[in-house]
Amino acid sequence: MSEVFNTIKNRRTVGGMNDQVPPKESIDRMLEAGTWAPNHHLTEPWKFIVVTGEARDRLSKALKKVAYGRVREPDSESGQKKIEKIGNRLFLSPVIIFIVYVPSDNPKADPLEDRAAVAITGQNMMLVAEEEGLNTQWLSGPIYNVDLFRDALGLVGDEEVYGLMPVGYSSINKQGKRTPFEEKTVYLDK
């Protein structure tokens, strides 16, 4: 089996990351791999925001403010727990990479194709992280595109958070399980 295929099969979303900060060189390799995602018309419709240190505190506070407006009964005990849990997403690992969709001004660009390319950047980054011995997760959702949080991240215009990727080290070892491809594949030859 090829190295690439093994990396794909071994990569898992893993939580429980510790505070050990990954080397900047490993993060940089992940980011470079992201830039090699295929994209129609070479629009490169992405940018990356790498969040570490005190920036996590600042963004966590902004995320909690957004969550307060979105959680049912935010002042109740259960509402406060939900808000805290949402805000703590910025502390799942010592490094969080926000993967941002940047609309192209190329008249040939198709936003659907460009968004697909942005998703592929995340896969490329996760595969390199696996090779670097790092663990990752993929998180997404509309809460990251509420104006208050977008402003805290420094997004402009129509840029949008497509996903965020906690990156770090975990002692959890998850085994993968997938439906056999034969059950999800149709061959057409006529």
User: Annotated binding site: which residue ranges?
Assistant: 11-13, 40, 138-140
Could you tell me if 22 and 95 are in contact, meaning their C-beta atoms sit under 8 angstroms apart?
Answer: yes
Distance set, CA 120 to CA 69, 74, 127, 151, 163 (Å)? 32, 36, 11, 25, 11
Is 101 strand, coil or helix? strand
Distances (CA, A) of 57 to 74, 87, 126: 20, 9, 24
Q: What is the C-alpha separation between 25 and 43, in angstroms, rounded?
A: 26
Binding residues for FMN: 11-13, 40, 138-140
Residue 4: both structure tokens together: 């690439």
> Residue 81 in contact with residue 186, Cβ under 8 Å?
no
Asked if 49 and 98 count as a contact pair (C-beta separation under 8 A), the reply is yes
8 Å CB contact between 34 and 99: yes
